[in-house]
Amino acid sequence: MRARRAPRPFIWLGALLILYLGYPVVAFIVRVITGTNEGWNGTGLWSAVRVSVEGATIAVLIAMVTAVPLAYILAHGRGWLSSVVGVIVQLPLAVPPLISGILLIYIIGPYTFLGRISGQRLTETMYGVVIAQLFVASPFLVVVARSAFSAVDPALGDVAATLGHGPLARFLRVDVPAASDGLRTGAILMWLRAFGEYGTIVIIAYHPYSLPVYVDNLFSSAPLSQAEAPTLIAFGIAVLAITIGRLPRPPRLRRGRKPTPVGPMSTTPISVGFDISAKVGSFRLQVAHPARGHRLAIVGPSGSGKSVTLRAVAGLLGRSAGTVTYDDADMTRIATEKRRIGYVPQGFGLLPGRTVWQQATFGVHADRERAAWWLQTLGLDGLYDRLPEELSGGQRQRVSLARALAVDPGVVLLDEPFSALDAPVRAELRRQLRRLQNDVNLSTVLVTHDPEEAAMLADEIIVLNDGHVLQAGSCREVYQRPATVQIGRLLGIDNLFDCHPPGDIPALVPTAPSARAPGGGPVLWHVPPEALRIHPTISGNGSAVNIGEGKVTDIIDLGRSVEVVVRLTNGTEIRARMLDLPALAVGSPCLVQTDADAVSTWTQSPTPEPAAAR
């Protein structure tokens, strides 16, 4: 792919800055090459270099233990306390180094409490150098590490929790590796800042000399040429540190001997029930479902609360989100990592820098033989050593599914697992998952916006909207008798209409036996698109039921079938689906007919109460 070229003014402005930053360096290098290279035998030079290098290294090591955890907390913290701590951490960046030194004197000076109990060893010693370097340089690591942790996909931690890893293990095995590039950059920046610190050190620890203090003394008492050696050393060390920071990651570890695949045993199905009341930001979720079948689908539009429900079922929202049961076992107070579940997030949730094999065996309870079997079953047998970026979307989805199944989970939670895939790949993975459900009694809770996917992979369905349940029940019950037109539309049901008997129904389906509505409330009626016949004349077929006369508004050739859209004279838009192109054109008058037993009617349910105010 052709590289995108920057606007010409940007190029000139960038070149100007490069000239400004690079010219002094080039001029100094030329002077060193053509000059006499003085200052190498100066008294105390190498001692000063050692002090700066050792001090900066010790400061970075201390910060890695303290500043990195703090950055992680700040990256995930919310509220005023996190904001206040963030400001405190960045203050040393804003305060002049000399002022920082004065602030530290008030804390660790010889006559302070800390100074007295330490035997006045916190100043004018190597301790003082490290304290000064740590104070002024650690904010660099905190700021960069905080940004790196904030950029880590939260789904990675969720996946690790469902795979049995506790909070500390998730931090060390997921967040730190995922943020490693940022952490390394922050550590290098901190080290360079600490190595070059002068102002704070000169107040706290004038002795032993650090390299900047040594150069300052040399500059004040000797010819400028004597500063060439320490300056060249500083440049060399800086280049070395930057080079280390830009080294590529070490090569991936190979998997070693391939284990013998061993398939899973058929398990006892587990039904999932829940009564959830949770608030995420300004969104309020109120949803309940009794534990019945072991294959459940949650359907609804974007933003309806499907994914929040699934995360609550997994325990990722905490025990305050509500009650969750697996069969008769109450899981509400059991941490996610102890629930023995599989979780396939919407964005795959593959761990960066880990091969397919490492992904599949990442779970605490993952079985190597079982992982090998799932990878083989899902068509990933030859991809063990590939990284996530070397896989296609369908392959990544298979890896995510294999990882969830390798721990022999009691329940598998799937969040829009196929939404990002091409249609052929999506269809194939659906069929594979359905076979798994049947072959090993796999218990699943599926979140999807695709009604066909829900019907294929579930026995029960919940229709959500705006954080509350619109309708729930068996797939057959809900699909054949949606409670409202809105639910029918969410389920992709064509030709579902409401009307008020006795006036509307006879006008639309005058001879349908099922059109006799009980009571006087709203009635829904439905006719499948495949059951409709479109005639170019108003005579039609005398034995069929007349839906009504109208005009063709669209003819859509779908390849394997043809969809004809007709607007009836009463304004109702109805869709017919047939195998061949009809002898009609857009705008033609027509008559819509069907068989009497193809029309169904039922009483519309009352509109559900809205969710709690947000």
* Same domain, residue pair 224 and 108: yes
- Same structural domain for residues 223 and 106? yes
Environment class of 302 (CB within 10 Å of its CB; exposed 0-12, middle 13-18, buried 19+): exposed
The model's pLDDT over 43-61, given as tens digits with 9 standing for 90+, comes to 899 999 999 999 999 999 9
Among 63-72, 476-485, 603-612, name the one with the lowest average pLDDT. 603-612
Is residue 417 reached through a cis peptide bond, with omega within 30 degrees of 0 on the bond before it?
no
Dihedral sign from CA coordinates of 497, 500, 501, 502: negative
Q: Which of 197-201, 318-322, 396-400, 520-524 has the lowest mean pLDDT?
A: 520-524
Angle between helices 211-221 and 228-245 (to 10 degrees): 160
Residue 610: pLDDT band (50, 70, 90) is very low
- List C-alpha distances in Å: 422 to 356, 374, 393, 394, 419: 21, 22, 8, 8, 8
β partners of residue 448? 299
Strands (E), 145-282: 272-280
Residues 6+ apart with CB under 8 A from 584: 534, 536, 552, 555, 564, 590
Residue 262 lies in a domain: no
Residue 471 lies in a domain: yes
* 555-582 average pLDDT score: 90
Ranges 278-287, 497-506, 562-571: which has the least confidence:
497-506
Token reading at 49: 């270099």
Mean pLDDT of 443-471: 93
Residues 205 and 353 in one domain: no
The pLDDT, as a whole number, for residue 612 is 40
pLDDT of residue 254: 60
Mean pLDDT of 376-394: 89
Which of 564, 611, 612, 614 is closest to 592 using CA atoms? 564
Domain end point (choices 226, 245, 264)? 245
Mean pLDDT (whole number) for 586-597: 88
Mean pLDDT of the chain: 87
CATH number at residue 403: 3.40.50.300
Q: Residue 611: pLDDT band by 50, 70, 90 thresholds?
A: very low
Is the same domain home to 227 and 305?
Answer: no
- Positive/negative CA dihedral, 389, 393, 395, 400: positive
Q: What is the pLDDT of residue 193?
A: 94
Q: Are residues 285 and 224 in the same domain?
A: no
**Cβ contacts of 26 within 8 Å, gap of 6 or more:** none
pLDDT confidence tier of residue 502, bands split at 50, 70 and 90:
very low
Residues 113-136, mean pLDDT to the nearest whole number = 93
| Token pair 């029960």: residue | 460
Rounded to two decimals, what is the model's pTM? 0.82
Please report where in the chains the tokens 């587990």 appear, as a residue. 270
The answer, yes or no, to whether residue 121 has pLDDT greater than 50, is yes
Of the given ranges (289-293, 425-429, 476-480, 527-531), which has the lowest mean pLDDT?
425-429
> Within this chain, do residues 225 and 276 fall inside the same structural domain, yes or no?
no
Residue 340 sits in the same domain as residue 205: no
Inter-residue contact 536 to 583 (CB < 8 Å): yes
How far is Cα 251 from Cα 238, in angstroms, rounded to an integer? 26
Does residue 552 form part of some domain? Answer: yes
Segment 160-183 mean pLDDT? 95
Residue 220 has pLDDT above 70, yes or no: yes
Closest CA to 298 of 410, 443, 460, 481: 460
Q: Are 445 and 320 in a shared domain?
A: yes
Which structural domain, as residue segments, surrounds residue 569? 494-603
What's the rounded mean pLDDT across residues 138-152?
95
Domain co-membership, 171 together with 281: no
Task: State how many domains the chain has.
Answer: 3
Q: Where are the alpha helices (DSSP H) in 246-292?
A: none
More confident residue, 513 or 202: 202
Domain boundary pick from 477, 506, 528 = 477
Q: Is residue 419, in this structure, part of any structural domain at all?
A: yes
Looking at the domain assignment, is residue 18 inside a domain? no
Of 27 and 165, the one with more pLDDT: 165
The reported pLDDT for the residue numbered 422 is 78
- What's the pLDDT band for 542 if we cut at 50, 70, 90? low
Q: What element of type H or E holds 611?
A: none
Higher pLDDT, 139 or 513: 139
Clarify whether residues 89 and 173 are in a common domain.
Answer: yes
Residues 62 and 135 in one domain: yes
Dist. CA 154–CA 317, nearest whole Å = 13
Which one, of 246, 271, 227, lies nearest residue 42 by Cα? 227
In a domain? residue 148 = yes
> Any idea which residue has 């009694």 for tokens?
441
> Region 69-82: what's the mean pLDDT?
90
Name the nearest CA neighbour of 514 among 601, 594, 593: 601
Residues 463 and 503 both lie in one domain = no
CA proximity to 459, closest of 483, 485, 486, 441: 441
Residue range 585-594: mean pLDDT, rounded: 91
Banded model confidence at residue 377, pLDDT cuts 50, 70, 90: confident
Per-residue pLDDT for 558 more than 80? Answer: yes
Per the domain annotation, does 518 fall within a domain? Answer: yes
Nearest residue to 207 (alpha-carbon basis) of 293, 121, 113 = 121
The mean pLDDT value for 428-441 works out to: 87
Specify the pLDDT at position 521. Answer: 59
> What per-residue confidence (pLDDT) applies to 253?
60
360 — pLDDT class (breaks 50, 70, 90): very high
Residue 139 located in a structural domain: yes
Q: pLDDT digit string (tens) for 87-116?
A: 999 999 989 999 999 999 999 998 899 999
| Domain final residue, candidates 195, 210, 245 | 245
Q: What is the pLDDT of residue 560?
A: 86
Is-cis flag, bond preceding 608, omega within 30? no
Reduce the DSSP state of residue 275 to 3 states and report it: strand
Q: What is the CATH number of the domain that holds 56?
A: 1.10.3720.10
